[in-house]
Structure 1
Amino acid sequence: MNTGTSSAGPRHPRHPRRLWQIEAAWALTLAAVSAEVLVWVLGVFVVAPTGLNELTEHAGRSGAIAQLALSGGVLAVFVAGWLAVAAQMRAGRGWARVALTVVGAAFLLFRVADFGMDGADPVWWGVVNALPDLLAAAAVVPMYLPEARAHFPARARRAA
């Protein structure tokens, strides 16, 4: 029996324009990813004591470069995965919305637990360092507004 759906997965109705709630979640996710990369770059090269300087003291110049290359590679894989899941959410996949919710909540919980742990950093650096986590958590909110629920097919909501 043909139900009119393709085997590629559940379909959701095409909206004449994208929902602003989904676009807001996408934009907040892009901002969170950008902020995550910015924090890494600032922490490694700009904010004293820089990660490069600290690693050089402990592992030498070549060891520090190797460690930062590994760290940058892990960050690149993490960011690529984050963007891939966010793109799936934007396409209407319910599982991606759930995954971004879990990540956003975890980031927020880790950030709250981290407040007050490191009093040596300047206040501005603590704020900048918290920005990606706060943006990731904020990206969850528009995905669950009533109008945004229509973007995710009912079948996918039951499976997720």
Structure 2
Amino acid sequence: MNTGDSGTGPRRPRQVEAAWALTLAAVAAEALVWVLGVFVVAPTGLEELTEHSGRSGAMTQLALSAGMLVVFLGGWLAVAARMRAGRGWARAVLTVAGALFLAFRVGGLGMDGIDPAWWTALTALPELLAAAAVVPLYLPEARSHFPSRARRTV
């Protein structure tokens, strides 16, 4: 029996909450990979940019990159929040995005031949989590959370 969260209505299916948690993990992993790639894993992005563009140019490029990452991750979270609220279009967007992330990752696996295996695995983590987040959304209990509509009303 769905008793409700805080008395406000029916509880979300466990599968939807699992997809939400996997999405949060994917977003956190994406941010972590960016930070590690820029500041920790040698040769760092900061070092490479500094050699190529100078300190000022590197800082400008990193600020732009960080800003774009924040916008991307914010959009991803906004769509995921709409999915969690039961919007079918958001489930479809996350499905397409998860499939594309996985396809790009699989297609690019052989291109990072000089990186250590652990770094390749870590950089693949956000895409794998994003793809995994889609799976629970199509399980029977979760499907009932996304009402299908033959017609759209305006």
TM-score with structure 2 setting the length: 0.91
Q: Does 1:32 align with 2:29?
A: no
Q: 2:141 aligns with which of 119, 131, 147?
A: 147
Cα distance in 1 for residues equivalent to 2:151 and 2:43: 49
Q: How far did 1:158 drift?
A: 6.3
The aligned runs of 1:1-160 (5 Å cut-off) are 14-15=9-10, 17-155=11-149
User: In structure 1, the residue corresponding to 2:110 is in which secondary structure?
Assistant: coil
Q: 1:135 to 1:158 in 2, by over 3 A?
A: farther
Structure 1 unmatched runs, 5+: 1-13
Moved over 6 A (4+): none
**How high is the sequence identity, in percent, across the aligned residues?**
74
Query: What count of residue pairs does the alignment treat as equivalent?
Result: 144
- Per-residue CA shift, 1:50-75, capped at 9, x if unaligned? 00000000000000000000000000
Match of 1:6 in 2: none
Cα distance in 2 for residues equivalent to 1:80 and 1:154: 27
Cα distance in 2 for residues equivalent to 1:106 and 1:158: 28
More displaced, 97-106 or 146-155? 146-155
Q: How far did 1:116 drift?
A: 1.2
Q: How far did 1:154 drift?
A: 2.1
Structure 2 unmatched runs, 5+: 1-8
Cα distance in 1 for residues equivalent to 2:108 and 2:123: 11
Cα distance in 1 for residues equivalent to 2:133 and 2:151: 22
The one-letter amino acid of 1:124's match is W
The alignment's C-alpha RMSD in Å is 1.1
